[in-house]
Structure 1
């Protein structure tokens, strides 16, 4: 998959789920929530940022 934004990934996944379920009308929010959870699981936990220079301890 090309470099898609988080929202683009969710949109694509929600559309796939919607199509698989027979293109039901009026369920966009449900598909979005399911797709978001799936994409978040695929991407894994966010990596914590490294220390900010002001947080680093200066050598003594």
Structure 2
């Protein structure tokens, strides 16, 4: 089974399969979806925003926690 001998046949079969698939799906209409901007704007209106404030640890405090 030397695949190098059959490479041309494999390539032609792949091209034929790709062509048949593209012609078969060419007549199907493209499905349209709502743009993400409209759905994102509706989600932002009811989204809860949480703000966390606090001081950063110093290098000594980080070392004490890690040690």
For normalisation by structure 2, the TM-score amounts to 0.34
Please identify the structure whose Cα radius of gyration is greater: 2
Q: Which has the higher contact order (CA 8 A, sep 6+)?
A: 1
TM-score of the pair, normalised by structure 1 = 0.37
